[in-house]
Structure 1
Amino acid sequence: MAKTLEEWLDSEVRPLRNKPVRWLSEFYFLRDPARPRHVDPEIFFAPADGVLLYQRTVNPDEPLVELKGRRYTLQDALRDPDYDRQSLVVGIFMTFYDVHVNRVPYSGRLSYRVPEPVETHNHPMLDMEHGLLAELRPDLGTAEYLFRNQRVVNRFVSPALDGPYHVLQIADRDVRCVIPFDLRQNRPCRQGERFSQIRYGSQVDLVVPLSARYGLEFLQAEHSHVEAGVDPLVRIVRPGAGSRP
């Protein structure tokens, strides 16, 4: 269940502060807890455990983040200069203490691509993690990794939506690999199903194009902590349906 950042730190992180780093990295980090699978055709559930860094509705060439005068756009994020859809974007930062198994936010057929890396080495995310764990706030001024780091772009196509949506996995410097659980392309995936894991990193963004047929609304507060497959992030609002409580 979604929590404030402070509530999550008190309940999940502080009890682990005195545990050995080896135990944390070899056992706790690699955990994959059983969770109920929620199915709701009007909801996008969280694809990752972590802290909501930002929630935006942007045009493809508008900045999600600006760093030292440099604009990080949706086209930059997806490494696709031809992307042309105004979209809703939710960025989730996974700390070292989060489960790193990613789940399908909305049922559809999954294809993925791995864009060419911009640089040989990924930039570290430790400053962002420190801001969240020690300062209780994200510092987007430290998010240089958004421009540089390797990523996997997962594209989901569902007949219920007006076009595909994307889940973007961004690797940390110390990431060993992004591991899809099934290497087949264009395969059907169910909402809440495990589909991939990022080992020792990172960030996951949900990108949902806007539609003339329905509206989209955010369901969680920025900087709250969510769990993959459990917490709803975005609601689809059909004409005449209004918002559900």
Structure 2
Amino acid sequence: MGVLMLLSGVVAGIIALFGLFYKFWFLRDPLRLAPSGNNIISPADGKIIEIKEIHPDSKGDIKKGKGVIQTVYSDTILHGKSGYLITIFMTPFDVHYQRAPYDGKVVYSKHKKGQFRSAEKPRPQNENNQILIRTRLGNMKVIQVSGFIARRIVSFVKENQNIKKGQKIGMIRMGSQCCLIIPKMTHKMKAELKIKKGDRLKAGETIIMSLGK
């Protein structure tokens, strides 16, 4: 009887410690100040695992059997323009909030069903939430991607909502993956991509692309 009570106490203590750790570490929300100037910033904390240039003829449909799970690029890269798909891996120890990469208006926030595979590699076939933002630079999309552990995605925005650069737009519990699709700018914009594969990013602070005008 005494042993059972001792074990029960140990288990209860472990659960309580995990609850405190989850609340004060995993759900932490540090102050982030968006950099001034004309630039596009990171939507998520984490490490860049892929930077891919995409074109209007890129295959954005991810198929499973005969059914299309999602179309990634078709409503983002418009009018014959090209763009970039930046994939960020978030560990359980990263801050889990996502932020707006640029000022704009939310076109939609849509949940897409899919798989729950490990997010250490690009996983466009995983369950996700896609937030399409219309900006003066063109459409941008933030994709919150689930993983093997992280299966709860929350969006804080709704259709036709105006958002500011650096504003919190959602969260993924326990880490996972976040993708950003941005248009490729014209030479007149004097745009410069400021990141590379392997870089560590901070949501709302790290500059993804600087713009001269």
Task: Compute the TM-score of the two structures, normalised by the length of structure 2.
Answer: 0.75
Q: Which residue in the other structure is 2:27 paired with?
A: 30
After superposition, residues 42-53 of structure 1 pair within 5 angstroms as 42-53=38-49
> Which of 163, 169, 190 is 1:189 aligned to?
163
Residues 237 and 90 of structure 1: CA distance in aligned 2, closer, same or farther (over 3 Å): farther
Q: Deviation per CA, 1:78-132, whole angstroms, max 9, x where unpaired?
A: 62574554211221111111001111110000133335424xx51133xx3xxxx
User: C-alpha separation between the residues in 1 aligned to 2:105 and 2:197?
Assistant: 29
Q: Which residue in the other structure is 1:178 paired with?
A: 153
More strand by share: 2
User: C-alpha separation between the residues in 2 aligned to 1:109 and 1:90?
Assistant: 21
After superposition, residues 109-128 of structure 1 pair within 5 angstroms as 109-118=105-114, 121-125=115-119, 128=120
Deviation at 1:217, TM superposition (A): 2.4
Q: Deviation per CA, 1:46-98, whole angstroms, max 9, x where unpaired?
A: 11000011222222444xxxxxxxxxx54449625745542112211111110
User: C-alpha separation between the residues in 1 aligned to 2:49 and 2:56?
Assistant: 19
Residues 147 and 193 of structure 1: CA distance in aligned 2, closer, same or farther (over 3 Å): closer
> Which of 204, 208, 229 is 2:204 aligned to?
229
Unaligned runs of 5+ in 1: 1-19, 63-72, 129-139, 239-245
Local SS of the residue matching 2:170:
strand
1:106 aligns with 2:81: no
Q: Is the 8 A contact 1:39 1:192 kept in 2?
A: no
User: C-alpha separation between the residues in 2 aligned to 1:88 and 1:216?
Assistant: 13
Deviation at 1:36, TM superposition (A): 2.2
Deviation at 1:155, TM superposition (A): 0.9
Task: Compute the TM-score of the two structures, normalised by the length of structure 1.
Answer: 0.66
Please tell me the residue identity of whatever aligns with 1:123: R
Q: Is the 8 A contact 2:93 2:175 kept in 1?
A: no
Q: Is the 8 A contact 2:141 2:182 kept in 1?
A: yes
Unaligned runs of 5+ in 2: 1-16, 63-68
> Which of 116, 122, 133 is 1:156 aligned to?
133
Aligned residues: 186
Q: Deviation per CA, 1:198-221, whole angstroms, max 9, x where unpaired?
A: 112311111112244535421023
